[in-house]
Structure 1
Amino acid sequence: MTKKKELTVEEKLRALYDLQLIDSRIDEIRNMRGELPLEVEDLQDEVAGLNKRLEKLNIDLSNIEAGIKDKKSSIEEFKVAITKYTEQQNEVKNNREYNSLEKEIEFQNLEIELAEKQIKEMKASIEHKKTSIAETESKLASRKEHLGHKEAELNSIMSETEREEKILLEKSDEFKQDIEDRLLVAYTRIRNGVRNGLAVVSIERGASGGSYFTIPPQTQVEIAARKKIITDEHSGRILVDSALAEEEREKIEAIIAKL
């Protein structure tokens, strides 16, 4: 493991502020995307769900139509049977055989009535399925169109920022190499604990950046001396003087401008 070089307090402050500037730029890029990646993912899931629903509805519709076809075929078979039993009645020699055939004919007629009732129910189900299919197709078309717009928007932002973000992430890792682990841990902890991700801030008009709390004059002198690392007692952020901050901003802006 390569030992990190010893830095003066001023060098540590500069390295920390440089890291903060790089990480803040990465935050800006990601904020530009906002919730877009999640919106696109949600829309993709919704479209996939609607496609699956549409596929199931069409399968159900095909099955119902096949069921109607089977029932109609069965009705034809029942009618053939009725014709056969009616013809046989003309040839019977006693009432017992005649009554037996009559019961068969009655049973076939009941089967026809049942099949016709089931066909009627299935036709009603078909209309319901067709309505559901039409509604699902309409919703799917709308969600696909919305997804297309969101994907185009995200792709546009990604094409503008993806390369810069990749290089900045590499730069962030580079700057971290020169910062001792103890400070990196503190930096990460502070950064994760504040809403805007600012762990290192400069003194602006006598107060720490992003804060309305005034820094005592003696503390401001100590910060400007760059002899020790000082944190804001209210926010816990690491403080640097405005001159150092301006110098490092110009340096990092020059680096970013070359990307």
Structure 2
Amino acid sequence: MARKSENAEMTVEQKLEALYNLQQLLSQIDEIRTLRGELPLEIQDLEDEIEGFTHRIGKLTEEIEDYKSKISSGKAKIAEAKALKERYEQQMNEVKNNREYDMLSHEIKYQDLDIELQEKRIGEAERAIEERQQTLLASKSSLNDHRSELDSKREELGNIIEETRNEEEKLREKANAIEMTIDQRLLTSFKRIRKNSRNGLGIVCVERDACGGCFNKIPPQRQLDIRMRKKIIVCEYCGRIMIDPELAGIKVEKPAEEKPKKRRLSTKKAKTEKKKEEEEK
């Protein structure tokens, strides 16, 4: 949609009114989103944690399979070592000299050491598998809990969004319509101010001689400039755009004016005045 050409001809007063009306609509949208509370962030955190648990479970499963493979390999080496040992023991019955006997004895001893080493490694792998299986069970349990909580949070958020969707869409349509009437540079500045403001206010009224956003005092001359509506004026402390309450449609109670006190005549002067009145009669 093309931006209306009339926005270039808008007076400062019209621009301020448009910005203030836009702010009112955006504040209502902010309130609706506040109803959702921390749910979107909580959902994001749960999704991140679920991803972490899924990655951990995958890694633990791979490690367990790796240790199982090592156990199988170790058992195969033990079987091979036992077969060699048995063959060497049979050959010892056929030795012809001490040298052959010593060589076979050495080989048998080596196979015994290899069997012992493989059994040790198998034991270590089995303990590692047991530890990882316990961690795996705990991780799967946590994953299921997080998935259940995520489903609950998503349902809760979905209900809130469903309840407020129509209202938010109507407010957004009105806000978009106003935005189309505002000069692009002014609108961009307004949105930047809103983004940098803690409460999302980009334009505020003068309240009790102070900025309605940061509550710093505004000099009288600057207040007069704001009421004149000849140019866009921002707070020199927080940078928010300023608008006078009257233009914003806000009634401000004026302090009651003191009635001038009647001067009491002195007793002597009062008597003289009274006597003069009687003589004239």
- Class of the TM-score when normalised by the shorter of the 2 chains: 0.7 to 0.9
Given candidates 116, 119, 124, the residue that maps to 1:116 is 119
Given candidates 134, 146, 169, the residue that maps to 1:143 is 146
CA distance in 2, matches of 1:228, 1:96: 112
Give the drift of 1:68.
1.4
Matched, 1:4 2:8: no
Given candidates 54, 58, 76, the residue that maps to 1:55 is 58
Q: Which amino acid letter does the alignment assign opposite residue 239 of structure 1?
A: I
Give the drift of 1:48.
0.9
Given candidates 241, 245, 261, the residue that maps to 1:241 is 245
Q: Which amino acid letter does the alignment assign opposite residue 146 of structure 1?
A: E
Deviations 1:50-109 (A, max 9, x none): 111111111211221222122122212211111111112212222222222222111111
Identify the residue that residue 83 of structure 1 maps to in structure 2. Answer: 86
Given candidates 59, 67, 70, the residue that maps to 2:70 is 67
Local SS of the residue matching 1:198: coil
Q: In the alignment, is the contact (CA less than 8 A) between 2:204 and 2:212 conserved in 1?
A: yes
Deviations 1:17-42 (A, max 9, x none): 22111211222223223332222112
CA distance in 1, matches of 2:187, 2:209: 26
Give the drift of 1:226.
6.6
Q: Which moved more, 1:135-144 or 1:53-62?
A: 135-144
Runs (5+) with no aligned partner, structure 1? 247-259
CA distance in 1, matches of 2:184, 2:83: 91
Q: Which moved more, 1:196-205 or 1:83-92?
A: 196-205
Which has the larger helix fraction? 1
Say if 1:97 and 1:152 are closer, same or farther in 2 by CA, change over 3 A: same
Given candidates 153, 156, 159, the residue that maps to 1:156 is 159
Q: Which moved more, 1:183-192 or 1:148-157?
A: 183-192
Q: Which amino acid letter does the alignment assign opposite residue 180 of structure 1?
A: D
Runs of 4+ deviating beyond 4 Å: 202-216, 218-222, 225-236
CA distance in 2, matches of 1:71, 1:230: 82
Equivalences for 1:201-220 in 2 at 5 Å?
A: 201-202=204-205, 209=212, 211=215
Q: Which amino acid letter does the alignment assign opposite residue 242 of structure 2?
A: I
TM-score by length of 2: 0.72
Aligned-CA RMSD value: 3.3
Q: In the alignment, is the contact (CA less than 8 A) between 1:17 and 1:245 conserved in 2?
A: no
Identify the residue that residue 103 of structure 2 maps to in structure 1. Answer: 100
CA distance in 2, matches of 1:69, 1:43: 39
Q: In the alignment, is the contact (CA less than 8 A) between 1:204 and 1:242 conserved in 2?
A: no
Runs (5+) with no aligned partner, structure 2? 251-281
